[in-house]
Structure 1
């Protein structure tokens, strides 16, 4: 579903992408701008209990992921550097979001809610990084691991929607439950990718022995 939405956003961004390219804005500049926006917002809004504002603003900046790719395609600049920069800065943005949520729980909640919320947010950070690393490492070894139930898009949607709902007045338990479920889904995704790579590695070993 999110992949189809990304295609729609790419189409919608075409006019804006052309305008930015015409005035001399580069795709890399948009990538960096979006990441800085997420960093500043996540590390200010969440720790200061502005969950709704943080979720909305970060969501808007997240759309720049589609804009910079559209600009690169229109300008004929798609390549390894742009992909590397985008993936690297995505990890930094994700870290800021979940660190900001962890600080929110430590500062603004207490008891079991604080413990479970902070631990779940940090678990999402660690396991989300493992999800991305598993795919990158597999591709570096000549295999694929683009499977799983909790890719980056899904992780962002779940965490930001839950944070926004709490910011608009729902119980903070909504965010705790969402983060716990997201951490579990991320762990499942890591295991799915490990199983996929193992299957490919075993198949390659068999093919090599029969050659």
Structure 2
């Protein structure tokens, strides 16, 4: 059910994004430029706003620029498909964005002496990197790894909602969201490693992957 909702939401967003993507391509903007601009926006929103405690503004700015993930992908598709460097750049910039978001959250929580929240943010940062790394490494070895309940979009949504609610006065929301995210991120790492292990076992036993 959640997967169906996610696909429907993405399809709806694509219909909104396509006219913007078409216009940007027409005026000469490249998908790679949008990728870099989106990353810079997320970093600025995280460091300048989120890390200083402006959680509502930070969450809105980060969410806005995070949507460029969908925009640059749509532009790449419209212009004939993503280049190898474009795919590499997109993945690399995603890691920069994630580091900025969770680093800023951890910093702000540390200024509030919320050590429980800092621990959750650091777990999210490490586990989030592992979620992406495990998939990339598996695909580099010729296997698939399209499983997991906490992909990047879901992770940013969870922390964004938590930050927004805390900024609106629910002090417990951000830390709760971080621990929820930490749990599902660690679970997703386990899911992906198990999935790859089974493929490797089948391949080594001579059974088709």
TM-score category of the 2 structures, normalised to the smaller one: over 0.9
Q: Which residue of 1 aligns with 2:31?
A: 27
Q: Identify the match of residue 96 of structure 1 among 85, 94, 100.
A: 100
Contact 2:42 2:62 in 1 (8 A): yes
Q: 1:194 maps to which residue?
A: 193
Counterpart-to-counterpart distance in 2, 1:135 and 1:17: 28
2:162·2:176 contact (CA, 8 Å) conserved in 1? no
Which of 27, 51, 54 is matched with 1:50 structurally? 54
Mapped to 2, the partners of 1:6 and 1:89 lie a distance apart of 21
- The CA deviation at 1:77 is 4.2
Structure 1 runs not aligned, ≥5 long: none
- Per-residue CA deviations over 1:66-111 (Å, capped at 9, x if unaligned) read 111111111114232211111110011001000000011011x23x
- Structure 2 residue aligned with 1:132: 132
What's the CA shift for 1:36?
A: 0.4
Q: CA deviation at 1:189?
A: 0.5
Between the aligned partners of 1:203 and 1:9, the Cα distance in structure 2 is 38
Paired positions, count: 204
The residue number in structure 2 matching 1:70 is 74
User: What is the CA–CA distance in structure 1 between the aligned matches of 2:128 and 2:134, rounded to whole Å?
Assistant: 10
For normalisation by structure 1, the TM-score amounts to 0.93
Higher relative contact order (CA 8 A, sep 6+): 1
CA deviation profile, 1:42-65 (whole Å, cap 9, x unmatched):
011112110000001111111111
SS of match in other structure, 1:46? helix
Relative to the length of structure 2, the TM-score reads 0.94
Consecutive unaligned residues of structure 2, counting only runs of 5 or more, are none
The separation in 2 between residues aligned to 1:90 and 1:180, in whole angstroms, is 21
Kindly indicate whether the alpha-carbon contact (under 8 Å) linking 1:102 and 1:117 is maintained by their aligned counterparts in 2.
yes
Inter-partner Cα distance in structure 1 for 2:40 and 2:161: 21
Q: Residue 92 of structure 1 aligns to a residue in which SS?
A: helix
Q: Secondary structure at the residue paired with 2:40?
A: helix
Q: Which runs of 4+ in 1 moved over 6 A?
A: none
Q: Corresponding residue for 1:185?
A: 184
CA RMSD of aligned residues (A): 1.4
